[in-house]
Amino acid sequence: MVITSLLGAIPGIGADILLLLWGSYSIDNTTLHRFYSLHYTLPFIILILTIVHFALLHEFGSNNSLGIAASLDNIPFLPYYGIKDVFSIIIILVFFFEFIIIAPDKLGHSDNFILANSLVTPAHIVPE
User: What is the pTM (predicted TM-score) of this model?
Assistant: 0.48
> How many domains, in total, are found in the chain?
1
Has residue 92 been placed in a domain?
no
Residues 34-58 pLDDT 10s: 899 999 999 999 999 999 998 888 7
Whether 25 shows a pLDDT value over 90: the answer reads no
CA dihedral 39→40→45→48, nearest 10 degrees, is: 140
Query: At 23, is the pLDDT very low, low, confident or very high (cuts 50, 70, 90)?
Result: confident
Per-residue pLDDT tens digits for 57-106: 877 776 666 666 666 667 777 788 889 889 999 999 999 999 899 988 88
Residues annotated catalytic, as ranges: 58, 62, 84-85, 128
Tell me if 29 sits within 8 A of 22, measured CB to CB.
no
Is the residue at 23 inside a domain? yes
Does residue 32 sit within a domain? yes
Tell me whether residue 40 is in a domain. yes
Q: Is residue 2 part of a domain?
A: yes
